[in-house]
Amino acid sequence: MKKHNFSAGPSILPEEVLEKSAQAILDFDEGLSLIEISHRSKAFINVMENARSLAIELLGLQGKGYKALFVQGGANTQFLAVALNLLESRAGYLNTGTWSDKAIKEARMHQEVLEVASSKESNFNYIPKGYKIPSDLDYFHCTSNNTIFGTQMKEFPKLNIPLVCDMSSDIFSRSLDFSKFDLIYAGAQKNMGPAGTTLVIVKEDILGKVTRQIPSMMDYKVQISKDSMFNTPPVFAVYTSMLTLEWLKGLGGIEAIEKENFKKSRLMYSEIDLNPLFKGFAATADRSTMNATFSLTDDKLKDSFDGMCKDAGINGLNGHRSVGGYRASMYNALPLASVETLVEIMSELERKA
């Protein structure tokens, strides 16, 4: 039975993407597998170029001075790469959870980091607001969606310094004015593809301003000049990401998927709010459309709820250990029907209790 996959990451991909990528493993180019051909072959260069231009197109950034890169090392490597490429004296970071915390730690190895605001004191269940960002910083860094805690930034500051954002878990999920951002990065494995590649969208004119030497693999200018092929790229991850971006474009792009994502999250949160057996973790105004965090009001119901989920083929609902309870991740590829199934089980639990 096909599972309802609520996993937080790596996570669900569209069925047709899985089928096409499986086929490419067997026969991609004249009888050769995708993973046994040269990354310098015409067939693969086309894949890389197509993936990069689809990313820019879907975000509405054509002709605005941005480059898209597919690099390796995950978002965790970007925590470091951002600082190496942009941090000359002092940067500001908004601390909204585990991933921001890690980004701060990596940047601090190089230069001064100002934590402009944090919601750590309440286990990151909300997004700080009304903070001041000094204008003499090298850049301001934030995390658009906090995968673990289920909070999501709904607004972003207007700045006269570069705005850098970790969008690993909500890229391509909602319409934003992406041209407000100077650098966006996202590990593929939440909303775009398999683990193994990370998308970086960078406005070229913010680069080349630091005095340090940057290791080649982490140097955005090097990666741009080599068209994301400074070293052998993760061909399978890039190809599968390209297929997902094509799938999204075919659906009508970000605006179309955003409507679906709203439907799913509205249904999910209304059940959490109306059903007395459940309570949400994140502050209502800051709730994520991607990751809904919630728990049972009575732990004694855990075994029966877990059993009902299992019987219905629901997978990946366990909360992260730092929050506990449950987390329903509703990435782009998750069908509305999966959320309907989960909500149905939650109300059935209420009827039986």
Ligand X SMILES: *Cc1c(COP(=O)(O)O)cnc(C)c1O
Q: Tell me which residues are annotated as active site.
A: 99, 166, 190
Q: Which is nearer to ligand X, 275 or 332 (CB)?
A: 332
Q: Measure CA 68 to chain center.
A: 16
Nearer to ligand X, 187 or 233 (CB): 187
Which residues, including other chains, have CB under 8 Å from residue 66's CB and lie 6 or more apart? 56, 201, 202, 203, 204
Report which of 257, 220, 226, 168 is spatially closest to residue 49, judged by C-alpha positions: 226
Min. distance of Cβ 294 from ligand X in angstroms? 18
Crossing angle (nearest 10°) for helices 98-108 and 74-86? 40
Report the alpha-carbon distance of residue 70 to residue 307 in Å, rounded: 40
SS3 253: helix
- Cα 328 to Cα 8, 103, 135, 268, 310: the distances in Å are 8, 25, 38, 9, 14
Cβ contacts of residue 250 below 8 Å, gap of 6+? none
Residues that bind ligand X (CB under 6 A): 9, 74-76, 99, 143, 147, 166, 168-169, 187, 190
Rank residues 169 and 293 by Cβ distance to ligand X and give the closer one: 169
Supply the minimum distance, in Å, between the C-beta of residue 175 and ligand X.
19
Which is nearer to ligand X, 72 or 111 (by Cβ)? 72
- Structure token digits, residue 74: 């995950």
Task: Tell me the closest approach of the beta carbon of residue 42 to ligand X, in angstroms.
Answer: 29
Please report how close the Cβ of residue 195 comes to ligand X at its closest, in angstroms: 7
- Of 168 and 261, the one with the shorter C-beta distance to ligand X is 168
CB of 335 to ligand X, least distance (A): 21
How many helical (H) and strand (E) elements, i.e. helices and strands, does the chain have?
Answer: 9, 14
